[in-house]
A and B are shown apart, each in its own frame.
Chain A
Amino acid sequence: MTTLIFALLTAAFWVAATGRARPASLLFALALAVGLVWFNHHMTDPLAISL
């Protein structure tokens, strides 16, 4: 899932650099939304880290 977020951001960078600001902004918004969902997942799942 984190891979997907990086892929969306890479696409957003590429699209922005080729001159299309609005589609790039939409890709950025999508990446941020998926990031928030994934952060919520990691905030609420029981972490198996060595505390």
Chain B
Amino acid sequence: MLTPALARQLNALGLLAISAALAFAYYDQFFGGDLPCPLCLLQRVALTAVGFGLLMNVVHGPRPRHYGFMLLAACFGAAVASRQVLLHIVPGTGSYGAPFLGLHFYTWALVLFCLVILGSAILLLMDRQFERTETAPGRFSALPVLGKVAVTAIIVLAAANTVTTFAECGPIECADDPTNYWILGGEPLPAAAR
């Protein structure tokens, strides 16, 4: 039985998983030297947007509308990831970035968005969580520790992405194949640093 309280805890864990994926993207950016391309950044946007539905479930209680937010964001992310997979699907057309466990990040992103769609659909089948038997926290200060950690993590990562995306792309548009941060003048990084 998926009670509202259990659903909120599951959503908090999902929010931590999304935060972990975004943090890993940062690890690859800063320690692997892979600057995210425009489509990569849009996939991060979609992943962050999936987090919005999860956060709403954690803070305001589980509702079908919140799963709808997640489904919309995941469909958007799957479309962006598919676009990037299709750009490189023909043998000999190269790839973007280094592979991780045999797959490139955009392929992993497509897998992840499909899992979000599947998970949301399954959770939507469990009606008991939508019963108004408990009062949702409604705001950050009333959340349990797990909820506070999860919400803080996604807000910090979304804010950090705002700053680093501006540093990389500037106010308008990112380079298709970025080699350095816009804020550093856009000159390519030395090969050893990439």
Partners in one complex: yes
Of B4-12, B76-84, B112-120, the segment with at least 4 beta carbons within 8 Å of chain A is B76-84
Nearest CB in chain A to that of B154: its residue: A13
Contact across chains for A28 and B69 when beta carbons are under 8 A apart:
yes
B49 partner, pick from A24, A32, A38, beta carbons under 8 A: A32
Q: How far is the CA of A48 from the CA of B139 in the complex (A)?
A: 45
In the complex formed, the residue of A with least CB distance to B72 is: A32
Q: Given A16-B55, A32-B72, A51-B94, are A9 and B49 neighbors across the interface (CB < 8 Å)?
A: yes
Q: Are A9 and B45 in contact (CB under 8 A)?
A: yes
A38 to B80, CA, bound (A): 11
- Tell me if B165 is interfacial: C-beta within 8 Å of chain A: yes
- Chain B residues within 8 Å of A5, by CB: 45
Does B169 sit within 8 A of A, measured CB to CB?
yes
Binds A, one of B99-107, B126-134, B173-181: B173-181
B-side residues, CB < 8 A to A, are: 37-39, 41-42, 45-46, 48-49, 51-52, 55-56, 59-60, 65, 69, 72-73, 76, 79-80, 83, 87-88, 93-94, 96, 138-140, 151, 154-155, 158-159, 161-162, 165-166, 169, 171-174, 176-177
* Cβ contacts A to B, 19 pairs, < 8 Å: A3-B166, A3-B169, A3-B171, A5-B45, A6-B162, A12-B52, A13-B55, A14-B155, A16-B56, A16-B59, A17-B151, A18-B140, A21-B56, A24-B56, A28-B52, A35-B42, A35-B76, A42-B38, A49-B96
* Chain A residues within 8 Å of B, Cβ to Cβ: 1-3, 5-7, 9-10, 12-14, 16-19, 21, 24-25, 28, 31-32, 35-36, 38-39, 42-43, 47-51
